[in-house]
Amino acid sequence: MRATYMYGAGDVRVIDVPDPIIKEPTDAIVRVVRACVCGSDLHPYHSMPVTPGGSSIGHEFVGVVEDTGAEVSSVKAGDFVIAPFAWSDGTCDFCREGLQTSCRHGGFWNSGEVGGGQAEAVRVPLADGTLVAVPVAEDSPLVPSLLTLSDVYGTGYHAAIKAHVNPRTSVTVVGDGAVGLLAVLAARQLGAEQIVLMGRHAARTDLGREFGASDVVAERGEEGITRVRELTGGDGTHVVLEAVGHMPAYEQAVGVVRAGGVISRVGVPQYDDAPVGFPSLFGPNITLTGGPAPARAYIETLLPGVLDGSVNPGRVFDLELPLADIADAYRAMDNRESLKVLIRP
């Protein structure tokens, strides 16, 4: 089959690899119907050292089950399924607590003997815990929105849930990528009314307004902080959802959060150390939370709105390309011509 490998910064190729096969009785093989490129895939796209053997990539996909191991009972061949971006047993204490990204027996795509989602097919370990079958046809117009449940919608929702967004909280979202826009959508669903979206790409922030942003701030740095404070009587917002991962976004978050408030990060941090001392977090009693979203935990919650059409998170996709052209998808997202690219194997 064909699968995407990255060989270093800027070097993405589609190569032939052996078809995945059932290795454990708890495995399923899923033929990929749609995959996509994640903002977090752009981090190695910028920084991966040259790696002669390459590394498979991709962690968001929906597809159709082709085969299952003897112990798999919750999905069967022919089922349309959503695969969250971590695989998990669904039964350990962490999974029962809704933290499937810390599952005692789980893991992430593209590690060990598990391939990536930007491919024609994937071996899914612990299929019963990982996959969610959805009663739709693979040519359903809902497929793009269902695909967002594998990562970006769940990630935006995780940011808002960890920050306890509710009708009484004002919210700033830092970043107008797909996760930022879906953090806006999630905050709105959880009842927030004032939602300030910080982003400078009008097409994206326009979609953010449709998802529920009440205000858009295009300025960055000190100017951006001043603007958000002006919009909030000088105080900043109770909650900041940080959906970028670079240090300036962290600093922005610290600059616009209200005393006693919460900064919830879902952009994968590209730094180790950050200010957390008296002036930044401690003095004003700011809480810092977030992490990789247990996307699996949120699928049941978010699926009904997708299925009944009341939300359409799939609108974050503004380009669709065949798998063979995935290098163009990375380029288009990297130079910000495209918000998020749908990949058709």
The residue ranges that bind its own copies (CB under 8 A) are 94, 97, 99, 101-102, 162, 259-260, 265, 268-269, 271-292, 294
CB nearer its own copies, residue 266 or residue 306: 266
Give the chain's end-to-end CA distance (angstroms, integer). Answer: 10
CB nearer its own copies, residue 270 or residue 312: 270
CB nearer its own copies, residue 120 or residue 235: 235
CB nearer its own copies, residue 70 or residue 259: 259
Whose CA is closest to 285, among 301, 263, 314?
Answer: 263
CB nearer its own copies, residue 278 or residue 335: 278
Whose CA is closest to 54, among 5, 21, 97, 89?
Answer: 5
> 31 Cβ partners below 8 Å, 6+ apart?
63, 64, 65, 66, 120, 121, 345
Whose CA is closest to 122, among 39, 70, 61?
Answer: 61
Longest Cα–Cα distance in the chain: 61
Smallest distance, Å, CB 287 to its own copies? 4
Burial of 21 (0-12, 13-18, 19+ CB in 10 A): exposed
Smallest distance, Å, CB 64 to its own copies? 31
Smallest distance, Å, CB 273 to its own copies? 4
Smallest distance, Å, CB 281 to its own copies? 7
Tokens representing residue 191 in the block:
């009842």
| Contact by Cβ (8 Å): 341, 332 | yes
CB nearer its own copies, residue 55 or residue 289: 289
Smallest distance, Å, CB 192 to its own copies? 17
Smallest distance, Å, CB 255 to its own copies? 15
**Core vs surface per residue 98-107: b (16+ CB within 10 A) or e:** ebbbbbebbe
